[in-house]
């Protein structure tokens, strides 16, 4: 797969041709499966995973894909088949991993600030690799559930945990997705961690397995990752001197991509990132875990949508598409930028437009004052870099069925999630 080079999966194979995903025309896919349609390149996802695996090859490691970025079962299965583990944040995400790749249960780390007893039980029974614990209360709950499970069954194993420490490192990203400062809800103040570990190792239902950290998302520079890891590394050495030898260090996720279509060398980014982690962790011989989400899937996916109308209001031109904020909420929620390109280019001058969906909110936009086109009603446009936090954050707002999803594997494309029907939407309700 690596020889195929899928770093540029979305391309026009020849002048005048429509946009392709690897060897498959997006026009053909839209005709066959309808729009809005998410299309993913399996080859690019595999290639990105392998970049991390290669960059960390010198040490014991596990890439735990952050399921929240894109939780399609077919993508989980693809990644599991290539050796990935998973970072989950809910019982639901664990159910997804078990459905797609039950053999990967032992490679799962469970993050999140509010795990319920039922979710903890599910994960204990599944035998996950470790719980990334975010508070002392959660650690107590974890011990209590492990003890209870042991009493009720023959499962007498300790619960492996890592404290998610908050390193108080600033990561330059959108405030909604920055997590590594003391004022955030995430993790445990790193200064309090030693005392908590010392108490926990006395509990017979807990195993101090590792330490974890996650400073935020869409972070473009390797420096904050290195700075956070320096602090974690200091903690690991301190614990080691005190007789607590951790087996794993989890560096979290967060490595960012370029959403502006600039030249972007993914391999180089991963090398810098891995070097920053390795530099800070020299002397630690245990397992290095990482939890990338966006970097693996964002650029491997597009959202294909059809132009319904082109409308002028005053000085403005609106391109109204059949996809809306319920399909891809990132622009509305984070003022995120997604490149938008016509699937088939038309001759003529690009126009300055707003690209908007049919949802009844002014926040329902994909781009404002953007040069696009020219496009006409009926044309297809693709929202690029939509593979991460696109479908995963979609909703049924305005009673809109969710989009279908297609996975392209070389020259083949297969439906991995059918479009929702009205029956799917109305099913759970009672009049
Ligand atoms: N690990 C933990 C504990 C996390 O909270 C996250 C993301 C990840 C790993 C994966 O981060 P990534 O490698 O994807 O940056 N919806 C937002 C992003 C939210 C990220 C939440 N946590 C967006 O669309 O930009």
DSSP state for residue 296 in the 8-state scheme = H
| The domain boundary residue, chosen from 292, 313, 330 | 292
Name the band, by pLDDT with cuts 50, 70 and 90, for residue 248: very high
**End of a domain among 275, 292, 309?**
292
Closest-lying ligand 1 atom to the alpha carbon of residue 294: 14
Residues 105, 130: Cα–Cα separation, whole Å: 10
306 and 255 part of one domain: no
Rounded Cα gap, residues 388 and 380, in angstroms: 21
Is residue 281 located within the same domain as residue 317? Answer: no
Domains contained in the chain, number: 2
Report phi then psi at 247, rounded to 5. Answer: -95, -20
Measured from the Cα of 295, ligand 1's closest atom is 13
Distance CA 111, CA 86 (A): 10
- Whether residues 249 and 360 share a domain: the answer is no
CB half-sphere exposure, 203, CA atoms < 13 A: 23
* Mean pLDDT, rounded, for 186-213: 95
Q: Are 264 and 304 found together in one domain?
A: no
Please say if the pLDDT value at position 3 is more than 90: no
Q: Which ligand 1 atom is at minimum distance from the Cα of 212? A: 3
The mean pLDDT of 133-142, rounded to a whole number, is 96
State which of 184, 293, 330 you would mutate to test the pocket of ligand 1, scoring each by most atoms of that ligand within 8 A of its C-beta: 293
CA distance 87 to 59: 20
Query: Which of 257, 292, 327 marks a domain boundary?
Result: 292
Residues 217 and 282 in one domain: yes
Domain assignment present for 69 = no
Q: What pLDDT does residue 277 have?
A: 97
Q: How many residues does the chain have?
A: 431
CA distance 306 to 269: 34
CA distances from 228 to 137, 152, 183, 277, 409 (A): 24, 40, 16, 9, 37
Among protein residues, the one whose CA lies closest to atom 22 of ligand 1: 217
In the predicted structure, residue 182 carries a pLDDT above the cut 90: no
Q: Residue 245: inside a domain, yes or no? A: yes
6 is known as an active-site residue: no
Is pLDDT of 163 > 80? yes
- In a domain, residue 329? The reply is yes
CA distance 300 to 290: 20
Bridge partners, 207 (sequence order): 160
Determine the distance separating the centroid of ligand 1 and the alpha carbon of 88, expressed in angstroms.
Answer: 11
My answer on whether 144 and 282 are in the same domain is yes
Together in a domain, 284 and 386: no
The preferred substitution site among 51, 65, 68, 295 for testing ligand 1, maximizing ligand atoms within 8 Å of CB, is: 68
User: Residue 101 domain-assigned?
Assistant: no
pLDDT at 262: 78
Nearest CA to ligand 1 atom 9: 253
Please pick, among 6, 43, 64, 360, the residue that the annotation labels catalytic.
360
Kindly state whether residue 141 falls inside one of the protein's structural domains.
yes
Rounded mean pLDDT of the chain? 94
Report the separation in Å between the CA atom of 78 and the middle of ligand 1, taken as the mean of its atom positions. 20
Pair 372, 236 in one domain: no
Domain match, 316 and 188 both: no
Q: For residue 368, what is the domain's CATH number? A: 2.40.37.10
Least Cα distance to 86 among 125, 38, 126 occurs for 126
DSSP string across 89-101: SSHHHHHHHHHH-
Burial code (b: 16+ CB inside 10 Å, e: under 16) for 110-133 equals bbbeebeeebbbbbbebebbbbbb
- For 401, counting Cβ atoms within 10 Å of its Cβ (0-12 exposed, 13-18 middle, 19+ buried), the class is middle
**131 shares a domain with 151:** yes
Collect all residues with Cβ–Cβ distance below 8 Å to 146 and sequence separation of at least 6.
124, 157, 158, 159, 205, 206
Pairing of the two strands 340-342 and 316-321: unpaired
What percent of the chain stands above pLDDT 90? 89
395 in a domain, yes or no?
yes
Q: Which residue from 65, 86, 217, 392 has its CB within 8 A of the most atoms of ligand 1, so it is best to mutate? A: 217
Q: How far is the CA of 311 from the centre of ligand 1 (A)?
A: 36
Give me the mean pLDDT over the 213-223 stretch.
94
Span from the CA of 297 to the centroid of ligand 1 (angstroms)? 12
pLDDT score for 185:
73
* Element spanning 267, H or E: helix 266-280
Evaluate if residue 68 carries a pLDDT over 90. Answer: yes
* Position 397 pLDDT exceeds 90: yes
Distance 69 CA to ligand 1 centre (A): 7
Q: Are residues 336 and 281 in the same domain?
A: no
Please measure the distance between the N-terminal and C-terminal CA atoms of the chain and give it in whole angstroms: 51
Q: What is the CATH number of the domain that holds 264?
A: 3.20.20.10
Burial of 286 (0-12, 13-18, 19+ CB in 10 A): middle
Residue 147, CA atoms < 13 Å, CB-side half-sphere: 10
pLDDT recorded at residue 177: 65
Q: Supply the range of the domain harboring residue 232.
A: 111-292
Closest CA to 212 of 298, 277, 146, 297: 277
Strand 37-41 vs strand 404-409: parallel, antiparallel, or unpaired? parallel
Q: Average of pLDDT values for 263-290?
A: 95
Could you tell which of 294, 335, 394 is best to mutate to test the pocket of ligand 1, judged by most ligand atoms within 8 Å of the CB?
A: 294
In angstroms, what CA-CA distances link 408 with 40, 51, 75? 6, 20, 11
- pLDDT (mean) for 275-283: 94
My answer on whether 391 and 324 are in the same domain is yes
* Tens digits of residue pLDDT in 327-369: 999 999 999 999 999 999 999 999 999 999 999 998 999 999 9
pLDDT at 29 over 80: yes
pLDDT above 70 coverage of the chain, percent: 97
For the chain, the 3-state helix, strand and coil shares in percent, each to the nearest 5, are 35, 25, 40
- The arithmetic mean of pLDDT across residues 98-116, rounded, is 97
Q: Residue 251 C-alpha to ligand 1 middle, in angstroms?
A: 13
CA of 109 to the centre of ligand 1 (A): 14
Residue 149 is inside which H or E element, if any? helix 136-152
Ligand 1 atom closest to the Cα of residue 219 is 15
Query: Which DSSP state fits 402?
Result: P
| Contact present, 69 and 284 (Cβ < 8 Å) | no
Does any domain span residue 83? no
Lowest mean pLDDT across 94-98, 118-122, 181-185, 342-346: 181-185
Ligand 1 binding pocket (C-beta < 6 A) is 66, 69, 87, 111, 177, 214, 217-218, 252-255, 291-295, 330, 334, 388-389, 393
pTM of the model: 0.96
pLDDT at 201 over 80: yes
Burial class, 77, CB count within 10 angstroms (exposed 0-12 / middle 13-18 / buried 19+):
middle
Collect all residues with Cβ–Cβ distance below 8 Å to 184 and sequence separation of at least 6. 166, 178
121-127: average pLDDT:
97
Report whether pLDDT(1) > 70.
no
Note the pLDDT of residue 141: 98
Please give the Cα distance from 187 to 132 (Å, whole number). Answer: 9
Does some domain include residue 95? no
Closest ligand 1 atom to the C-alpha of 174?
25
CB atoms within 10 A of CB 15: 6
């Amino acid at each position: 797969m690596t020889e195929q080079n899928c770093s540029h999966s979305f391309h026009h194979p020849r002048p005048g041709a429509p946009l392709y995903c690897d060897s498959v025309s997006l026009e053909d896919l839209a005709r066959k499966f309808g729009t809005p349609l998410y299309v993913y390149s399996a080859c690019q996802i595999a290639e990105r995973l392998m970049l991390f695996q290669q960059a960390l090859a010198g040490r014991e490691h596990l890439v735990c894909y952050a399921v929240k970025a894109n939780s399609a079962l077919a993508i989980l299965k693809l990644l599991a088949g290539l050796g990935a583990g998973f970072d989950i944040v809910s019982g639901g995400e664990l159910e997804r991993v078990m459905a797609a790749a039950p053999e990967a249960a032992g490679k799962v780390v469970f993050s999140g600030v509010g795990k319920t007893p039922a979710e903890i039980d599910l994960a204990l029974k599944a035998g996950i690799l470790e719980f990334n614990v975010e508070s002392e209360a959660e650690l107590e709950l974890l011990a209590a559930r492990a003890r209870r499970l042991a009493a009720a069954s023959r499962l007498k194993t300790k619960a492996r945990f890592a404290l998610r420490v908050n390193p108080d490192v600033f990561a330059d990203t959108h405030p909604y997705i920055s997590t590594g400062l003391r004022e955030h809800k995430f993790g445990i103040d790193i200064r309090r961690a030693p005392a908590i570990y010392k108490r926990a190792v006395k509990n017979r239902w807990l195993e101090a397995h590792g330490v974890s950290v996650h400073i935020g998302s869409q972070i473009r520079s390797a420096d904050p990752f290195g700075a956070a890891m320096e602090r974690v590394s200091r903690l690991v050495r301190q614990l080691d001197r005190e007789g607590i030898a951790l087996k794993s260090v989890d560096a979290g996720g967060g490595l960012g991509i370029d959403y502006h279509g600039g030249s972007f060398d993914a391999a180089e980014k991963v090398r810098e990132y891995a070097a920053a982690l390795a530099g800070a962790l020299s002397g630690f011989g245990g397992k290095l875990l990482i939890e990338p989400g966006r970097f693996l899937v964002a650029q491997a996916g597009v959202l294909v949508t059809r132009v319904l109308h082109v409308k002028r209001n005053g000085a403005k031109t609106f391109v109204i598409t059949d996809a809306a904020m319920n399909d891809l909420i990132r622009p509305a929620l984070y003022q995120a930028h997604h490149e938008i390109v016509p699937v088939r280019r038309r001759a003529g001058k690009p126009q300055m437009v707003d690209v908007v969906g049919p949802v009844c909110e002014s926040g329902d936009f994909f781009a404002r004052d953007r040069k696009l086109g020219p496009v006409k009603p009926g044309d297809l446009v693709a929202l690029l870099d939509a593979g991460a936090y696109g479908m995963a954050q979609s909703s049924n707002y305005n009673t809109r069925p969710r989009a279908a999803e297609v996975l392209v594997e070389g020259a083949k494309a297969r439906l991995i999630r059918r479009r929702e029907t009205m029956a799917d939407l109305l099913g759970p309700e009672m009049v």
